[in-house]
């Protein structure tokens, strides 16, 4: 989760130590935060004292067409609690097999839990799991950023080209990766992978300042989240409807979404 300064790395280092970045595990897939919470709660509620070998013997039940979705979820959670390579491989095979998006995401979370458990046992060191709705890669988290035009009607094509040039350049200096830049009538949306040790706000503000040399067309305020990619209606609500924005700030997403 992000703090108000846009840098969670210092908090994490306090947990794992100064030079233990190899113990960080980031969920790469984009999985809804609410589903991640449900998985954790479900896993705790369905913990079992059943023998590990007995659970492993039942792994083929994942492919039983008569098995309910609930039963499959329970078995995935049970397999994820076993610190054995066979359990990991069983979950991995199911992730590659299942086509239903909901079960695939559930199995992906189980696979991540299993991977962490294996690493923790093999290395005899605590593993730290970092997950956001938008996922990440290596030691970078994925962010959805919305830049707001000061006067949409006066924005010129050359200014859009400045955004396309300056944001990859400025954020690239922070070892960040721009995945997508899209232009709308009222705003610019950007998806980027940004290293955890980077103060995200500083990087974005620097890029906005550089872009504004060409006509001061971007608002100093912007929206950033690692929860999900907002659609156009949600973005316009956040831009123009202060009441809706206040509700979001006080809701469940306060740690992951903020406005500057």
Question: Can you give the pLDDT at residue 155?
Answer: 93
- Cβ atoms of residues 133 and 32 within 8 Å: yes
Contacts of 140 (CB under 8 A, 6+ apart): 26, 175, 176, 177, 193, 194, 195, 196
Backbone angles phi, psi at 258, to 5 degrees: -150, 165
- Residues 148 and 224 occupy one common structural domain: yes
pTM, to two decimals: 0.77
Average pLDDT, the chain: 84
Backbone angles phi, psi at 203, to 5 degrees: -65, -45
- Residues 69 and 88 occupy one common structural domain: yes
Question: In the numeric block, which tokens belong to residue 3?
Answer: 């703090």
- Is residue 177 a part of any domain in this protein? yes
- Residues 140 and 121 occupy one common structural domain: no
Question: Can you give the pLDDT at residue 10?
Answer: 60
Last residue of a domain, one of 92, 115, 130: 130
Last residue of a domain, one of 87, 113, 130: 130
Q: Is the pLDDT of residue 257 over 70?
A: no
- Residues 141 and 253 occupy one common structural domain: yes
CATH label of the domain that carries residue 208: 3.30.70.1290
Question: Can you give the pLDDT at residue 251?
Answer: 29
Express each pLDDT in 173-201 by its tens digit. Answer: 999 999 999 999 999 999 999 998 888 99
- Cβ atoms of residues 29 and 36 within 8 Å: no
Print the SS3 string covering 53-99: HHHHHCHHHHHCCCCCHHHHHHHHHHHHCCCCHHHHHHHHHHHHHCC
Question: Can you give the pLDDT at residue 128?
Answer: 74
Domain count, the chain: 2
- Other C-beta atoms within 10 Å of 61: how many? 13
Express each pLDDT in 1-26 by its tens digit. Answer: 334 444 555 655 555 555 456 677 78
Beta strands 136-137; 140-149: pairing state: antiparallel
Q: Which domain holds residue 91?
A: 31-130
Question: Can you give the pLDDT at residue 180?
Answer: 96
Last residue of a domain, one of 112, 130, 148: 130
- Is residue 20 a part of any domain in this protein? no
- Residues 98 and 143 occupy one common structural domain: no
């Amino acid at each position: 989760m992000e703090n108000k300064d846009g840098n969670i790395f210092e908090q994490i280092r306090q947990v794992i130590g100064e030079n233990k970045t190899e113990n960080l595990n980031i969920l790469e897939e984009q999985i809804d935060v609410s589903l991640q919470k449900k998985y954790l709660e479900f896993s705790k509620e369905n913990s079992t004292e059943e023998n590990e070998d007995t659970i492993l013997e039942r792994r083929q039940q994942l492919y039983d067409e008569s098995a309910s979705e609930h039963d499959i979820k329970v078995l995935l959670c049970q397999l994820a609690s076993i610190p054995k390579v066979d359990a990991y491989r069983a979950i991995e095979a199911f992730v590659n097999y299942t086509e239903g998006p909901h079960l695939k995401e559930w199995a992906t979370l189980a696979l991540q839990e299993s991977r962490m458990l294996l690493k923790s046992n093999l290395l005899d060191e605590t593993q730290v799991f970092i997950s956001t709705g938008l996922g990440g890669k290596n030691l970078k988290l994925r962010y959805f950023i919305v830049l707001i035009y000061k006067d949409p009607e006066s924005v010129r094509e050359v200014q859009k080209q400045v955004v396309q040039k300056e944001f990859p350049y400025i954020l690239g200096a922070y070892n960040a990766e721009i995945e997508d830049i899209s232009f709308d009538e009222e705003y610019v949306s950007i998806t980027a992978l940004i290293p955890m040790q980077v103060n995200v706000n500083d990087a974005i503000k620097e890029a906005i300042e550089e872009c504004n040399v060409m006509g001061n067309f971007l608002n100093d305020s912007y929206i950033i989240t690692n929860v999900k990619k907002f659609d156009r209606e949600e973005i316009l609500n956040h831009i123009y409807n202060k009441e809706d924005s206040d509700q979001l700030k006080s809701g469940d997403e306060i740690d992951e979404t903020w406005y500057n």
